Amino acid sequence: MTGYRVDAHIDGDDIVTVTLSGAATFETIAGLLRELEALRPGRVLMDESGLRPGLVSPSHIQEIAKLWRNAAALRGARIAVFAPSPVIYGLNRMFQAWAGEEVRVAVFTGRADATAWLLASTPER
């Protein structure tokens, strides 16, 4: 089963955590972007350790980047993704390149590095 869970804060910091699991689908990722846009978070930690490659093609990644460009509130957030799977890591890097978000979105293979990057940053609001 594919899905995600959004938690409000971690460790008392103003960081929204998202846990994705199952096979990746365009519909799940698009729904998550809409939900995060409504939440207007300053910082987001995306746990993709339980996410498996699914039916997400390069054209889907381009569509996700287009949705991202139209999400004004979410584009102001700092987002750290940790994706231990080389395939999921690569899909995230592809998104990062197409969205032109090398500053606000960072991709890591471990949670500790992703969390440290977020804690070292101050969200702009």
Question: Which pTM was predicted?
Answer: 0.85
- Give the C-alpha separation, 33 to 71, whole Å: 8
What pLDDT does 102 receive? 76
* pLDDT at position 1: 46
CATH domain 3-110 topology = Transcription Regulator spoIIAA (3.30.750)
Give the pLDDT score at 110: 94
The DSSP element (H or E) to which 79 belongs, if any, is: strand 78-82
The angle formed by the CA atoms of residues 64, 18 and 52, to the nearest 5 degrees, is 65
C-alpha–C-alpha distance, residues 84 and 48, integer Å: 8
Domain boundaries of the chain, sorted by first residue: 3-110
Residue 112 to residue 124: CA distance in whole angstroms: 22
Walk along the chain (125 residues) and give the pLDDT tens digit of each residue: 468 888 866 555 688 999 999 988 888 888 999 999 998 888 999 999 999 888 777 788 888 888 888 888 888 899 999 999 999 999 889 888 887 777 889 999 999 999 999 988 665 54
